Each structure stands twice: as structure tokens, then as C-alpha cells.
Amino acid sequence: MPSPLPTGSCTDTEEAAALLSRARHLLLDLDGTLILQDETIEGAIELLSRFDGRFSIVSNNSTHTASSMASRLRRMGLRVPPERIVLAGEVAVRRVRQEFPGARVMVIGSPAIRRFALAQGVKLADTAVDVVLLALDKRFSYPRLSAIVEALRQGARLVVANGDLTHPGPHGTRVPETGSLLASVRAASGTEPLMVVGKPAPLLFEEGMRQLDATPDDVVLVGDNPATDGEGAARLGLPCILVGPAGGAAPTLVALLDRLAFPGTSMGLSRMAGRLAAEVAAQAG
């Protein structure tokens, strides 16, 4: 009987690689772990191919649906079926529908999330609002903030897709997230959210494990954010590997993969690649 996987966030390269090599299933964060905005992080394609059929993506993204995210990822070279993608925006819509059946809901979010809410049977409303659902809205504006504040003043409940202030973009840039919009709503209304659906809350992780038919005993979370991934994993008792950019405190994805023996050999990926390149060069020569 194998010993249980250790819990807690791991940022040591050797320990993290050992944890990864023993993982049966993976829950994978997206931004900062597999992609940076529209760029794939080195090692992401290899990781998905190594864990083919054994991973779910669990992301605080609240602008996409699983199907639009699957298309976006495919264009970036990452093959992930929509049924293996759990996103905070979609989960928040489903949660509102379940918790507040028949409610009039002001959905602040992307066109895709508003369409998804409609398709789920949520009643979209701008007046006599029962629930304000706040997701990432890239057209957030002063009039929209005023409408939210007024709805909350009149007693509407506030449900928020995710609390992240930013996520990492390419070349060290920062991408503002739903939590930044929430900060303005909080400041102007004095209202606290009834519920923040995304990580570190357990809902997304639980849905990801359900997709995989996995249990906390055979899942490892790979993420980049101690406050959402690390904290969320700790709450559920899941082991968590934190990765990061080159030169940081956490290992890069590619450094971890490099430590894993290539299946059937004792060779790391880079050594295997090096040997293949040498063989190709020898044949060409």
C-alpha cells in the first residue's frame, strides 16, 4: 500500500518532482501555471500529454465558458476537452441558479457569461434585482458600478465569481481581475459578498475531482498562487505544487518535467531530447 501523498504547498524542485511522479490525477491551475495570457508556458504541452485523461483544469477565470476556453487553448496548442475544464464564472452562474431559483439576477460579466446564464435559465435583470453576480467585466464602468451599488442598497445579495485582484500576464505584466472590480463595489456600497465562488473556496476543486472521479488521496494540485491554489489545497487537504517563472523561488514547470524520468527510461526529458537531437544530427551527417 503506497504511503499517502504529503499535503501542504511544495516549492522545492526535487520534492515537487517526486510528488508529480506519484500523482494519479492532477488539478491544474491555468493562468501563470499553463499559460500567460495568450502564450503557452514552456512545459505545459508536455505536462498535459503526460497526464492525458488524468487532469482537470480548475481556474478562477470568469470570462470564458468551458467550451470557449477549450477552443482558446486549442489555438495555443493545448488539447483539453471542455468536460475537463472548471471555471469560476460558469460555476458561479450554476451556483446562483441553484441557490436562488427564479431570482432576478444582474449579471456583470463578459457576453459569453451573460449568454451562459441565459442558457442556464437565469433571469437577467437590471431592475428589482435579487442577486448581483459579479464576474470579470472588461467593460466595467462608472454607470455599471452605480447600478450595482443601487441594487445592493435596495437589498440585492452579492455573489462574486472570484476574488483575485490580478493574474500574471506575459513579460511581467499584470492583468486586473474580478477582485479589483469587487474592491470598488465594496468601497462604494459597504456591502460584503454573500459568497465568493472561486479558489480558495472548495467548489471548483470539488467539481474538478468529480470530473476525474478522483479523491483527495490521489490528486495533486499544480498552481502558481499561494493565496488561491495553496490556500485552497490546504483547506481540502490536497498536496499542492507551486510553480513560477524562471529565477523565482518556485520551480518552473519545465524544471519539474526535467526531473521526471521519461517513461521506460531513467532519463529526464531534456537529456532524452538531447540524445534524440544528437541521433538526428548523426543521421543527417
Q: Which residues bind Mg ion (CB under 5 A)?
A: 29, 31-32, 224-225
Minimum CB distance to Mg ion, residue 203 (Å) = 17
- Nearest approach in angstroms of CB 59 to Mg ion is 7
3-state helix/strand/coil string of the chain: CCCCCCCEEECCHHHHHHHHHHCCEEEECCECCCEECCEECCCHHHHHHHCCCCEEEEECCCCCCHHHHHHHHHHCCCCCCHHHEEEHHHHHHHHHHHHCCCCEEEEECCHHHHHHHHHCCCEECCCCCCEEEECCCCCCCHHHHHHHHHHHHCCCEEEECCCCCEEECHHHCEEECHHHHHHHHHHHHCCCCCEECCCCCCHHHHHHHHHHCCCHHHEEEEECCHHHHHHHHHHHCCEEEECCCCCCCCCCHHHHHHHCCCCCCCCCHHHHHHHHHHHHHHHHC
The minimum distance between CB 33 and Mg ion, in angstroms, equals 5
Minimum distance of Mg ion from residue 228's CB (angstroms): 7
Nearer to Mg ion (CB atom), residue 29 or residue 130: 29
- Nearest approach, Cβ of residue 104 and Mg ion (Å): 33
Decide whether 56 or 225 has the Cβ nearer to Mg ion. Answer: 225
CB of 198 to Mg ion, least distance (A): 11
Comparing every residue's Cβ against Mg ion, the nearest one is 32
- Which C-beta is closer to Mg ion: that of 106 or that of 238? 238
